[in-house]
Amino acid sequence: DGGITQSPKYLFRKEGQNVTLSCEQNLNHDAMYWYRQDPGQGLRLIYYSQIVNDFQKGDIAEGYSVSREKKESFPLTVTSAQKNPTAFYLCATRYLSTGKDEAFFGQGTRLTVV
């Protein structure tokens, strides 16, 4: 969506390195999410945050870390503990109000381990 910016679009990581994926939004949405997508698969939730300075683990949080220091930003760090990080990573945001809590997605970051 136009109000959600993910960067970089492509990222290459060497074995053993940590990398950080950026997600910024100007929609004033409350919640932000990180999903992982493997080829031919659906989206799996890594982490999500409803408010600043608070976040919760999703289904596949191991090997990842996040922070939410500002409402607009929710960076994801893929650590060396993540054994199979090659995937497509998608950031989403939602405005948490009944009837208006539609989720929108950024354009994604493709991470490849080399």
Partner 1 sequence: GIQVEQSPPDLILQEGANSTLRCNFSDSVNNLQWFHQNPWGQLINLFYIPSGTKQNGRLSATTVATERYSLLYISSSQTTDSGVYFCAVEPGAGSYQLTFGKGTKLSVIP
Place of tokens 């009944």: 98
Minimum distance from residue 14 beta carbon to partner 1 (Å): 24
103 binds partner 1 (CB under 8 A): yes
Q: Smallest distance from the beta carbon of 110 to partner 1, in angstroms?
A: 8
Q: Which residues ranging from 46 to 75 are in contact with partner 1 (CB under 8 A)?
A: 48, 50, 58-59
Q: Considering beta carbons, is residue 80 or 108 the nearer one to partner 1?
A: 108
- Calpha distance 68→43 (Å, rounded): 21
Rounded to whole angstroms, the Cα distance separating 25 from 35 reads: 16
Closer Cβ to partner 1, 56 or 80, answer by number = 56
In terms of CB distance, is 1 or 69 closer to partner 1?
1
**Cα distance between residue 104 and residue 8, in whole Å:** 18
Antiparallel, parallel or unpaired: β 76-78 and 56-57: unpaired
Q: Which of 45, 52, 60, 61 binds partner 1 (CB under 8 A)?
A: 45
| Other CB atoms within 10 Å distance of the CB of residue 66 | 22
Residue carrying structure tokens 């698969």: 41
Residue 85 CB, nearest distance to partner 1 (Å)? 17
